[in-house]
Amino acid sequence: MKEKLEQLKVLLHEIHDLSAANAVLEWDQQVNMPRGAAEDRGEQSATLSRIVHDKSTSDELGKLLNELTETAQNMDPDSDDARLIKVARRKYDKNAKVSGDWVAAYAKETAVAQSTWEQARAKDDFELFRPYLERLVELRRQYADFFKPYTHIYDPLLDDFEPGMKTADVQEIFTALKKEQVELIQQISQRPQVDNSFLFLNYDGEGQIAFGKKVITDFGYDWNRGRQDISVHPFTTSFELNDVRITTKIVPNFLNPCIFGTFHECGHALYEQGIAKKYNRTPIADGASMAIHESQSRMWENLVGRSAAFWKRYYKDLQQIFPSQLGNVNGETFYKGINKVEPSLIRIEADEATYNLHIMLRLEMEIGLMEGTIKAKDAAEVWKEKFKAYLGIVPPNNKEGVLQDVHWSSGLFGYFPTYALGNLVSSQLWERMTMDNPNVESQIEKGDFTKLLGWYREHIHQYGAKYEPQELVQKVTGEKINAAPFMRYLKSKFGAIYGL
């Protein structure tokens, strides 16, 4: 048994290392690579992806997992070894259904599509990106076909990011959530609006970066095992537990994207940096799911970063960096301004009360594209129609519409729902955390995040992907993922800001 486990770990370490090398190529493409190298990078990614896939579906690995799965029936099901076998088995079974040719074609197509998306977005030219969107939709439909029979074509895509979650489960959660959120937004719309005009002045990029770095250092981001760079769309990537990198974007005439985007990506990175080192280079050295991952990024971005307690400590620091812009704006006005509720065009800039509507729109779009009820060539116009229905405004261009997110150019259909699910989980975990640490607000006011981060390290981070997402949430909170804590949070926070 021990010898076979060691053999398994050797194989898993090799697969991880090759995957990490591919991730370095992807990071470099978004941060450093010259645009003209996209096709060459696509070939490199395709080659590496095929090698990873071949090793991930090898007869040697399959035979070893069959033997260990049988042996694991006599093990403590919560032991690290039993969980490693279970997680590795799940990944092997999924990978084995997918052809190597598809994996290589997908890697090549996404590398070129992502570079083309950047150009199309900069030029506000949907037609430039359209052929790639059409091919990527077709590739993802082919991917779903590997998993037939399925209940819904979107299920295999969603399962990649949220193991065990079905399309119908998400739709049920979103249907109930939409009703309550729309009611809250309508109540807020009837109240006097807060002022946030001071956020749209000219803010020096270096100052924005400096403030963000100061804060995430206080949060606990380990710069010895991470770095920050600039990219078109913010993201976090992990090559291993000792190399977790984040990026951000700078908008010179809007303060929010860089600051709150930095907090958001730091939340992802803190999760990865907090996974127990004993799991390094194995499939457990990952988040339990993207909803759990997003619960961490959204928590640091919103529950901490947009809280009154946080700005009691950090607003003076920001004023010192930007005295001409914020010198005459008091702390209460600033706090209300960064939490202004108003339908907006850009998802990553949306307020907490309307954010989930952006996700629901994208879920409808992705389901329609997979079902074939929405054609990729019509995506720009359908986007505008759905945006009007969900948020009451129409994007004036495609840059602020269908081209705003990087996800589709990366082929990440199935990812978007996890943002909204992450919002729900963040509030569930926060309610549990505050029961164990009732003085968290005063700690945040002092800029002391030690106990806060420590709680998440103890209850969430250290386990990585050892537990399935619903299992982990229930283990910590006593309940499965549900919307009640999130709605309690929204109604309390915005009820106070808007006097509801």
The whole-number pLDDT of residue 440 equals 98
CATH number of 167-498: 1.10.1370.30
State the chain's mean pLDDT as an integer. 96
Grade residue 35 by pLDDT with cuts at 50, 70 and 90: confident
The residue type at 400: E
In contact, 442 and 252? CB cutoff 8 Å: no
Q: Is the predicted pLDDT of residue 73 greater than 90, yes or no? A: no
Catalytic residue among 26, 109, 162, 265: 265
Break the chain into its structural domains and give their ranges. 2-123, 167-498
Q: State how far the Cα of 59 lies from the Cα of 407, in Å rounded to an integer.
A: 33
Mean pLDDT along residues 163-172: 95
Q: Is the predicted pLDDT of residue 1 greater than 80, yes or no? A: no
Encode pLDDT of 100-129 as tens digits.
999 999 999 999 999 999 999 999 999 999
Encode pLDDT of 297-342 as tens digits.
999 999 999 999 999 999 999 999 999 999 999 999 999 999 999 9
Encode pLDDT of 373-426 as tens digits.
999 999 999 999 999 999 999 999 999 999 999 999 999 999 999 999 999 999
User: Furthest-apart CA pair in the chain: how many Å?
Assistant: 69
Encode pLDDT of 42-71 as tens digits.
999 999 999 999 999 999 999 999 999 998
The whole-number pLDDT of residue 329 equals 97
The whole-number pLDDT of residue 221 equals 98
The whole-number pLDDT of residue 124 equals 97
Residue 240 β-bridge partners: 243
The Cβ of residue 454 has, within 10 Å, a number of other Cβ atoms equal to: 14
The whole-number pLDDT of residue 108 equals 94
Q: State how far the Cα of 159 lies from the Cα of 251, in Å rounded to an integer.
A: 34
Question: Closest by alpha carbon to 68, among 88, 93, 47?
Answer: 88
Query: For this structure, is 265 an active site residue?
Result: yes
The whole-number pLDDT of residue 21 equals 95
Helices (H), 124-153: 126-145
Q: Is the predicted pLDDT of residue 284 greater than 80, yes or no? A: yes
Q: What is the edge-to-edge ordering of all strands in the sheet holding 228-230?
A: 228-230, 243-248, 236-240
Grade residue 276 by pLDDT with cuts at 50, 70 and 90: very high
What percent of the chain shows pLDDT beyond 70? 100
Q: State how far the Cα of 194 lies from the Cα of 359, in Å rounded to an integer.
A: 25
The whole-number pLDDT of residue 136 equals 98
Q: Is the predicted pLDDT of residue 208 greater than 80, yes or no? A: yes
